């Protein structure tokens, strides 16, 4: 996991603790990165089994 992937993962985990999913705008603001970079990081986290998206509940599973 790269430093940036770790940062995105930690943001998602922390916001999930409060019952909230981060929006793309929030991720862009908190990381200072582009949407493309954030999407690539989340895809890598999913591929590595770190994150899963629950379609029914519309929530990240960490």
pLDDT tens digits for range 3-37: 999 999 999 999 989 889 999 999 999 999 999 99
CATH of the domain at 32: 1.10.10.10
Please give the angle made by the CA atoms of 18, 20 and 23, to the nearest 5 degrees. 140
pLDDT tens digits for range 32-49: 999 999 999 999 999 999
Helices (H) and strands (E) in the chain, counts: 3, 2
21 φψ region: left (φ > 0), alpha (ψ -120 to 50), beta (else): beta
**Domain of residue 35, residue span:** 3-61
How many domains are contained in the chain? 1
Give yes or no for a contact between 27 and 11, defined as CB atoms under 8 angstroms apart: yes
pTM, rounded to two decimals: 0.88
Side-chain-facing half-sphere of 30: CA atoms under 13 Å: 17
């Amino acid at each position: 996991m790269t430093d940036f992937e770790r940062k995105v993962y930690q943001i998602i985990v922390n916001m999930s603790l409060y019952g909230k999913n981060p929006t793309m705008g929030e991720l862009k603001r908190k990381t200072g990165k582009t949407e493309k970079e954030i999407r690539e990081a989340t895809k890598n986290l999913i591929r590595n089994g770190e994150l899963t998206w629950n379609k029914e509940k519309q929530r990240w599973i960490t």
